[in-house]
Amino acid sequence: MTMTTLEKPESRRTKLRTSQAQTRVIAVANQKGGVGKTDLAVNLSCQFAAAGKRVLLIDMDPQANATDYLVSPETPIEKSTADLLIDDSISLEDILIKDCRENLDVAPADGDLSACQIRLANDINMQFKLKKKLKEMKESNGYDYVFIDTPPSLGILTVNTLTASTDVLIPVQTQYFAMDGVVQLLETVRKVKEDINPELSVMGAVLTMYDRRTILSREVASRVRHEFNDGTVYSTVIPVNIRLAEAPSYHKSIFEYDSGCNGAKAYGALSEEILSCLED
């Protein structure tokens, strides 16, 4: 678990001074699968919205887990992020599920995003598709925060997301091999920042699926904090919590499903911690 190539992420406060007025576009990314990206993107979106922020959640994963998490199967999805990326005439407004929750709109995904990657591969502007659509969105000034859920890869969908984002939030599962892939992700962030999107910075990492009963969780947490440098791993950790595993099948955020459980309490604390860093 060595991170010799890891660049020290930028201070969150430095970032704040330069971009306070603009909508923060937060990519939730980690190329490792099953680390809690979707859980984080969905529950932070819901909690930010509950705190009175205007939030847009964009699903850029062909698995469409974030969409499935929040949108009931009865809600028809007529257009998705696949249509958005492929068809120049389709705008973000055209695909939105508005008021999915109070203050929260969702740009849904579906399986077509898989095929979309192949079609995009031949397009010279392939990495700019999402950025362009976000820029063109008439309502963009109305959103305080945009969260983007990404797939477990560093392919074109994640690069599109990083190109369109101001910040990257990295969930790190508190398990052995936790840092697998993080070095490559940070290298990709560095390249996107250097070549395409100078605004981009790493806002921090969140330790997920933390099991306080195990020595392994404690050891991994302290090693991850060390590897990331102090101040860039949020102090709130998301515990392993069965209610968090159950909530998606009810299409409810953790706050709707069981507001008193440890998972909901952790997400409440994490939202407060992140919001106070962003808006202090």
Q: Write down the least CB distance from residue 246 to Mg ion, Å.
A: 16
Binding mask 102-141 for ligand ATP (x = CB under 6 A): ----------------------------------------
Burial class (CB in 10 A: 0-12, 13-18, 19+), 279: exposed
Q: How many residues does the chain have?
A: 280
Shortest distance in whole angstroms from residue 142 CB to Mg ion:
26
Give the angle 93-95-99 at the CA atoms, nearest 5°: 75
Confirm or reject binding of residue 248 to ligand ATP (CB under 6 A).
yes
Q: Which is nearer to ligand ATP, 38 or 271 (CB)?
A: 38
Would you report the helix, strand and coil content of the chain in percent, each value rounded to 5? 45, 15, 40
Q: According to CB under 5 A, which one of 23, 43, 45, 65 is a site residue for Mg ion?
A: 65
Write the interaction track for ligand ATP spanning residues 179-208; mark x where CB under 6 A is met and - where it is not.
-----------------------------x
Q: Does 38 bind Mg ion (CB under 5 A)?
A: yes
Site size toward ligand ATP (CB under 6 A) is: 20
- Residue (11 or 262) nearer to ligand ATP, CB: 262
Binder of ligand ATP out of 61, 105, 110, 227 (CB under 6 A): 61
The sheet with strand 201-208 has its strands ordered as 97-101, 104-107, 55-59, 145-149, 24-28, 167-173, 201-208
Tokens of 213: 């009963």
H-assigned helices in 35-181: 37-50, 65-70, 81-86, 92-95, 112-120, 129-136, 156-164
- For residues 134 and 91, give the distance between their C-alpha atoms in angstroms, rounded to a whole number: 9
* Interface contacts to ligand ATP, rule CB under 6 A: 33-39, 61, 63, 65, 152, 208-209, 238, 240-241, 244-245, 248, 263
